[in-house]
Amino acid sequence: MASRPKRVATLVAPVQKVSMRNEPGLAFSSAVAPAMGAREWTMLILLGFLWGGSFFFAKVAVAEIHPLALVLFRVAIAAAALHVWLAVKGPSFRAALPYWKSLALLGLINNVVPFSLIFAGQTQIGAGLASVLNATTPFWTVLIANAITEDERLTPNKIAGILLGIAGAAVMIGPGVLAGLGGPIWAKLALVGAALSYAFAGIWSKRFRGLPRPPSPPAN
């Protein structure tokens, strides 16, 4: 029994070595993610359809609604839905109040900024091109994580996977991508900026791995 604490400390030490604590309960962690099963893959594919379809509906919506007003509607509806979900499931939002600054920044770079840039860009470019430019998010995420974190290293396999993913998105959209290549450069840069914002948000969200997870779905 005496050797058990020593063994536990040995197992925990690698995670503590790469952790950068800034607030109680929040830390960057290199904990290994659980393996994905059939349920997780099904949910991921469904999420891909929902996210991919959002570019088509956004293109329709920006023709009638100002981009910033559309952002307000999207975020407000998602926030209301999440609060209803939390009210039904039971966990209180008060548990997150000590970390409101970090959460507010996450909401800004994961929702407000990219939504604004995407909707503004889609006033000038097609949904197909917008979705392909947004598909560069993993590419930027890997580059940024490699530069500013200790546990996310750039590897040939990661680069190959990202390039295949972007190419796959373009192939699935088909000739519609080529048809939407026109438009001002600022609109395309806006979509790239949204992808960069999502990349920073993905890295920033690692701070919340130490918090208990409420039974709520992600809002988008």
Q: Which residues pair with 23 in a beta bridge?
A: 26
Determine the residue type at 204.
Answer: W
Chain segment 160-188, per-residue pLDDT in tens:
887 887 777 667 656 655 555 677 889 98
Confidence tier at 10 by pLDDT (50, 70, 90): very low
With 50 as the cut, is the pLDDT of residue 7 above it?
no
* Rounded average pLDDT over 81-97: 80
CA distance 138 to 122: 21
Per-residue pLDDT, 52: 73
pLDDT at 21: 43
Name the pLDDT band for 66 (thresholds 50, 70, 90): very high
Share the mean pLDDT of the chain: 77
Distance (Å, rounded) from C-alpha 202 to C-alpha 196?
10
Going from N- to C-terminal start, the domains of the chain cover 62-97+105-214
Report pTM: 0.70
pLDDT for the residue numbered 208: 79
Q: What is d(CA 130, CA 39) in angstroms, rounded to the nearest whole number?
A: 29
By C-alpha distance, which of 36, 42, 37, 197 is closest to 117?
Answer: 197
